[in-house]
Amino acid sequence: MLKTVAVVVLPGAAPFEFGVVCEVFGLDRSDRGTGVPAFDFRICTTVPGVVSSKLGFSLNVPLGLEAAADADLVVVAPYQQMDQVPDELRDALHAAHARGAWVLSVCSAAFVLAEAGLLDGRRATTHWQYSHQLAANYPQIEVDENVLYVEDDRIITSAGTAAGIDACLHLVRTELGASVATAIARDMVVPPHRAGGQAQYIDRPMSLAGCHTLKDLLVWLDENLAQDVTVAQLADRVHMSERTFARRFRAETGATPAAWINAQRVLRAQELLEESDLNIDEIARITGFGQAVLLRHHFAKSVGVSPAAYRRTFRGSGAAGGAVTRDRQPAASAAR
């Protein structure tokens, strides 16, 4: 059970990435009435005292690495000179992993785990700007730059900046269930990106970050996934020609309308498989795939396993059965 969280900061700490960890685990949300715990949250460093950030201000960190000795999760935030890992931090990370605790790096802090030797022979990711460098510097690591985060043997590495939120919420969902992760995500006003608890279940959600002219349309699509819509209809909703719309959609989401909708439908199917007792035919109808065979095809292609196997894996992860949200009318296909 995830109760104690220790985040390690060193001189030149990256404020945003550090703040992501504080936001997810450091706030007491136990009054939300959804089973969200108040984590025992600790900020620690190698030499207790004043720790500088890369933006000029400093943090007063009174706790040393002994605060991480019994933590259920040890998180490393990026800092300057990450190719230099103090021996005491290296030892603390190895000790955490050896005792079965989770170890998580945010953004480029994957270099810290790599330098410490924790990623040898494992899959990992980092910010796309540094992924080639990570692969070149540490050829024993299988670097995947196309995902938001990777979990391998209780070690989680996340991609750039806000992907740290997805990685943290993934861990919360794995340990405490979908309802707790959703409650934290709603409080943070971010999507509860849900992936599996195993390395093969890599999350590839379509974020609204970077979406400007089409943001309202994407919100509408997410709320109406069961509707059978065409590119022409979507272009008309935003008063664009089909060609302009298709170009703008790919520029803002990185995908075609059909691919984006199918990805959201798969994510919704994951939610229903975790939290409801609906059968596959009902989930196919609600999510807009229409037929169970189409749901199974797209689900297996995206997640890597069948819907039934996914449900068997996660029904024991704390998800509550019977809850169905945002039921929609049936549809047969995505935008075409």
Task: Quick: pLDDT tens for 266-276.
Answer: 989 988 998 89
Instruction: Read off the pLDDT of residues 184-241 as tens digits, 9 standing for 90 and up.
Output: 988 998 876 544 333 334 444 445 555 678 888 988 998 899 998 999 999 999 999 9
Residue 242 predicted with pLDDT over 90: yes
Q: Chain centroid to CA 147: how far?
A: 9
- Percent share of the chain, pLDDT over 90: 62
CATH label of the domain that carries residue 99 = 3.40.50.880
Quote the mean pLDDT of the chain. Answer: 86
Residue 105's nearest CA partner among 137, 149, 71, 64 is 149
SS3 call for 60: strand
Same domain, 181 and 49: yes
Q: Where are the beta strands (DSSP E) in 193-265?
A: none
Among 99-103, 110-114, 302-306, which is the least confidently predicted range?
302-306
The pLDDT assigned to 140 comes to 96
Judgement on whether residues 140 and 73 belong to the same structural domain of the protein: yes
CB contact at 8 A, 321 and 315 = yes
Same domain, 232 and 318: yes
**Overall number of domains in the chain:** 2
* pLDDT score for 197: 33
Pairing between strand 40-44 and 4-8? Answer: parallel
d(CA 332, CA 97): 46
Report which of residues 83 and 43 the model is more confident about: 43
- CA 118, 169, 110: angle at the middle one, nearest 5? 25
Q: Please answer whether residues 28 and 12 qualify as being in contact, where contact means their C-beta atoms are separated by less than 8 angstroms.
A: no
The verdict on 49 and 17 lying in the same domain is yes
- Mean pLDDT of all residues in 74-100: 96
In a domain, 194, yes or no: no
Global pTM reads 0.62
**DSSP 3-state of 144:** coil
- At 310 the pLDDT is 83
Residue 207: the pLDDT is 53
What are the backbone angles phi and psi of residue 96, rounded to the nearest 5°? Answer: -60, -45
| Structure tokens that stand for 194 in this block | 């849900």
Q: What is the predicted pLDDT for the residue at 324?
A: 35
As a whole number of angstroms, the distance between CA 85 and CA 76 comes to 11
pLDDT at 2: 95
In a domain, residue 198? The reply is no
**Would you say residue 265 has pLDDT above 80?**
yes
What is the tens place of the pLDDT at every residue in 154-194? 999 998 878 899 999 999 989 998 889 888 988 998 876 54
Res 295: pLDDT: 95
pLDDT for res 318:
43
The pLDDT score that the predictor gives to residue 209 is 53
The tokens for 2 are 């995830």
Query: Higher confidence at residue 212 or residue 102?
Result: 102
Same domain, 70 and 111: yes
171 lies in the same domain as 232: no
Q: Specify whether 50 is located in the same domain as 183.
A: yes
In a domain, 195, yes or no: no
Q: C-alpha 129: how far from its chain's center?
A: 19
**Whether 154 and 264 share a structural domain:** no
Q: Does a structural domain hold residue 139?
A: yes
Same domain, 156 and 283: no
Residues 261 and 319 in one domain: yes
Q: Are 193 and 24 in contact (CB under 8 A)?
A: no
Domain assignment of residue 281, given as a range = 206-336
Cα R_g (the chain), whole angstroms: 21
**What's the confidence (pLDDT) of residue 193?**
54
Same domain, 37 and 183: yes
CA neighbours within 13 Å on the CB side: how many for 177?
A: 15
Per residue in 58-75, pLDDT tens? 999 999 999 999 999 999
Task: Choose one of 120, 154, 188: the last residue of a domain.
Answer: 188
Whether 173 and 302 map to the same domain: the answer is no
Q: Which of 193-202, 221-230, 244-253, 311-320 has the lowest mean pLDDT?
A: 193-202
Tokens of 285: 């109808």
Q: Report which of 8, 78, 94 is spatially closest to residue 46, judged by C-alpha positions.
A: 8
**Residue 315: its pLDDT value, please?**
63
